Amino acid sequence: MDFETIIEPFKIKSVESLPITTPEQRKDYLVREHSNVFGLKSQEVTIDLLTDSGTGSMSSEQWASLMRGDESYAGSKSWQRFEEVVRELTGYKHIIPTHQGRASERILASICVKSGDIIPSNSHFDTTRANFEFAESTPVDLLCKEGLSLLDPSDFKGNVDLEKLEELLKSEDGSKVPFVLMTITNNTGGGQPVSMENLKLVKALCEKYKKMFLLDACRFAENAWFVSQREDKYKGKNVRDIAKEAFRLADGCSISLKKDGFGNIGGLLALNDDQLAEDAKNLLILTEGFPTYGGLAGRDLDALAQGLIEITDENYLQYRTRSIAYLGEKAISYGLPIVQPAGGHALYIDAKTFLPDIPPHQYPGQAIVCELYLLGGIRTAELGTFAFGVAGENGENDTPATHELVRLAAPRRTYTQSHFDYVAEVLEKLVENKDKLKGYEITEQSKFLRHFTAKLKPLA
Ligand SMILES: *Cc1c(COP(=O)(O)O)cnc(C)c1O
């Protein structure tokens, strides 16, 4: 359309009321949960930006698919529809449904990874990393140098450093590499895209050194959208065609369909290699289910098939990436440092730059997370030393994480422009309150993934 305003390309058919709370209530809830927003009940949260995973809204066509769901144990029509859509999109020979991304990763790690292996990537997502480490291998992140600099607004900050990748592949350690895994978009690195050129050069290296090339393609549509906007050779090209081309560069993929599958649950593993696919299916039967449903109901497969058709709608992708970029522009105008450019699924606040006086072991990211909740009932996620640091002996001397980030992840097709305006207003207030913010200390924590359950208290 010829107007500047980008509208939500959908209208609303069913609504769910948003809980509106008072500042006093929010304070009580946060005290009750020891300053950990994972403990909050959803009815205590006004705008929930904790994650974009499984939190999106289904379309009326997806709800219709649920009714069409065929619950036959083997060979259901819903499975056939799912397989057909995934094959059209990816072109892979073997398609294996799973209940979510980490189930695919677990199977992949069991069939392809052995003790002592090295798995290079642009950046591994945390569950992917955990599954490869559980298989006693070493996942390594070889992100390009633009990607390492938070405030540099380069176009393709998700690219892998090709020189470092080739150095590894041709070294003695190269023989320990079972495959190269590229994450599109790069969730851990701020939701940044990977260029088609970078993917093609990774493919060429994999061919040269005879390695399998796999994609962690949770956000394949957002990646393809950015390619269509930023990469000269692809400007103006059809987004679905770009996504199809990306899949066809690799030999297989793992996907959490809770992201660009428009699903509330679901995942898949796809492989071209016959032997690996057979091994994967045998394991699937052991833990997920028969290969034509893999841990999902027929109705889920049907809704996911429909979601995978809808996700490459360019009007949707424009609205989605524009809402997040808009929030980013607002944040910058208030002087709030963010990872630039804004990512495909989330805005990331750079807490270290914003709160230089709060050291990593006092969790500056968590100070922002708590303040955003207290100010406006917005739930966000700390991705810094609280989540990824290694706990020290007395909690005082944690090994800090590389970055101190706060992620505002947008659920798909869920919030409208005025919700984003509201979030922007709360961000402005956060900047006004900057000098009042205090660090936190952990009073209780578990050994693994402490941020889900740890108790904290604000420092005096
Ligand atoms: C979410 C995610 C996963 C894991 O998927 P789950 O469905 O949460 O198990 C893996 N990789 C990336 C890049 C993700 O964003």
Closest residue by Cα to atom 3, ligand 1, is: 101
User: Does residue 13 lie in a domain region?
Assistant: no
Residue 188's pLDDT is 83
The mean pLDDT of 400-427, rounded to a whole number, is: 96
Q: Which residues contact 452 (CB under 8 A, 6 or more apart)?
A: 38, 446
Residue 46's pLDDT is 98
Domain boundary among 281, 310, 339: 310
The mean pLDDT of 26-51, rounded to a whole number, is: 98
Q: Are 147 and 240 in a shared domain? A: yes
What is the CATH classification number for the domain harbouring 255? 3.40.640.10
CA–centroid distance, 220 to ligand 1, in Å, is: 12
Domain boundary among 265, 281, 310: 310
Closest residue by Cα to atom 1, ligand 1, is: 256
The mean pLDDT of 246-254, rounded to a whole number, is: 98
CA–centroid distance, 129 to ligand 1, in Å, is: 11
- Percent helix, strand and coil across the chain, each to the nearest 5: 45, 15, 40
Lowest mean pLDDT among 62-76, 310-324, 393-407: 393-407
The confidence band for 65, taking pLDDT boundaries of 50, 70 and 90, is very high
CA–centroid distance, 94 to ligand 1, in Å, is: 20
Residue 396 above 70 pLDDT? no
How high is the mean pLDDT of the chain? 95
Atom of ligand 1 nearest to the CA of 187: 13
Closest residue by Cα to atom 11, ligand 1, is: 125
Residue 193's pLDDT is 97
User: For residue 259, what are the domain limits?
Assistant: 60-310
Residue 429 above 60 pLDDT? yes
CA–centroid distance, 282 to ligand 1, in Å, is: 23
CA–centroid distance, 138 to ligand 1, in Å, is: 19
Q: Which two tokens stand for residue 107?
A: 């199977």
pLDDT in tens, 146-171: 999 998 999 999 999 999 999 999 99
DSSP H/E element including 9: none
CA–centroid distance, 254 to ligand 1, in Å, is: 9
Residue 394 above 70 pLDDT? no
CA–centroid distance, 53 to ligand 1, in Å, is: 8
Domain boundary among 267, 288, 310: 310
The confidence band for 126, taking pLDDT boundaries of 50, 70 and 90, is confident
Strands 267-271 vs 252-256: parallel, antiparallel or unpaired:
antiparallel
User: Does residue 18 lie in a domain region?
Assistant: no
- Residue of 106, 186, 187, 269 to test ligand 1 pocket, by largest number of atoms within 8 Å of CB: 187
Q: Are 48 and 70 in a shared domain? A: no
Q: Are 40 and 119 in a shared domain? A: no
CA–centroid distance, 216 to ligand 1, in Å, is: 8
Q: Are 336 and 262 in a shared domain? A: no
Beta strands in 203-310 (DSSP E): 212-216, 252-256, 267-271
The mean pLDDT of 314-328, rounded to a whole number, is: 96
Q: Are 66 and 48 in a shared domain? A: no
- Residue of 127, 188, 268 to test ligand 1 pocket, by largest number of atoms within 8 Å of CB: 127
Closest residue by Cα to atom 4, ligand 1, is: 101
Q: Are 33 and 157 in a shared domain? A: no
Total tally of structural domains belonging to the chain: 2
The pTM of this model reads: 0.95
Residue 432 above 80 pLDDT? yes
The mean pLDDT of 102-126, rounded to a whole number, is: 96
Q: Which residues contact 94 (CB under 8 A, 6 or more apart)?
A: 270, 271, 272, 273, 274, 277, 280, 281
Residue 285's pLDDT is 96
Residue 99 above 70 pLDDT? yes
How far, in Å, CA of 305 to CA of 298, rounded? 11
Residue 194 above 60 pLDDT? yes
Percent of the chain with pLDDT over 90: 92
Q: Are 184 and 157 in a shared domain? A: yes
User: Does residue 11 lie in a domain region?
Assistant: no
**CA atoms within 13 A of residue 368's CA, in its CB half-sphere:** 35
What is the four-CA torsion angle of 233, 237, 242, 244, rounded to 10 degrees?
A: -130
The confidence band for 182, taking pLDDT boundaries of 50, 70 and 90, is very high
The confidence band for 411, taking pLDDT boundaries of 50, 70 and 90, is very high
- List, chain by chain if needed, residues with CB within 6 Å of any ligand 1 atom: 53, 100-102, 125, 127-128, 183, 187, 216, 218, 256, 258-259, 267
Closest CA to 89 of 299, 250, 280: 250
Q: Which residues pair with 204 in a beta bridge?
A: none
User: Does residue 350 lie in a domain region?
Assistant: yes
Q: What angle do CA 399, 402, 407 make, to 5 degrees?
A: 115
Strands 455-458 vs 267-271: parallel, antiparallel or unpaired:
unpaired
pLDDT in tens, 440-456: 999 999 877 788 999 99
